[in-house]
Amino acid sequence: MPRSASKPPRFEQTLADLEALVARLESGELPLDQALATFEQGVKLTRACQAALQAAQQKVQILTQQSGEPRLEPFEPEDDSAAGAGDGG
């Protein structure tokens, strides 16, 4: 599916592209010129991912503001595996 020129790629797709580039580089089978070009593309994708994460963080900060003051809360993911894991069944 071709990407629209007016719409940037989704974070998940950019990250998948970056992972594919890393795998190609780690294989060690690329000639030097292709390895350098691949590395350069990886740097661009890394910067795009960082920008997307920073934008998301800013949105979260805005959404959690109370009375004009930003309220940062630590992220605590739900751990489904921990529920009932230590009680023997």
Enumerate the β-bridge partners of residue 66. Answer: 69
Residue 14's pLDDT is 92
Which residues contact residue 52 at a Cβ distance below 8 angstroms, ignoring those fewer than 6 apart? 11, 14
How would you write the pLDDT of the chain (89 residues) with one tens digit per residue? 455 555 667 999 999 999 999 999 999 999 999 999 999 999 999 999 999 999 888 888 777 775 566 666 777 776 655 444 444 44
Q: What is the pTM of this model?
A: 0.60
Enumerate the β-bridge partners of residue 1. Answer: none
